[in-house]
Amino acid sequence: MTSLKQPLLNLFAGICLLVFTVAVIDIVFFWPDTGFDWMFLGKNVLYAIATGYWVWRLLIQPYRKRKALEAESS
């Protein structure tokens, strides 16, 4: 079970990273073109916060822990 769990979590984290990036690009480049529609902004901010949390949790934290352990053992 463990051998299947990690690749699925990595796939989920990759998808979250993609959605996070698209949401931020939408906010920066396309929100002004919508006439400053608050629904558009709210949806994309919600996507960015939710997916950013999972990217932090599944990709960044394990990487930082691994680097800290490597530095500690050196």
pTM for this model (two decimals)? 0.81
Q: What are the residue ranges spanned by the domains of the chain?
A: 2-73
How would you write the pLDDT of the chain (74 residues) with one tens digit per residue? Answer: 467 888 999 999 999 999 999 999 999 998 888 888 899 899 999 999 999 999 999 999 999 998 988 888 87
Cβ of 67: how many Cβ atoms within 10 Å?
10
CB 44 within 8 A of CB 20: no
Half-sphere exposure of 18 (CA within 13 A, CB side): 6
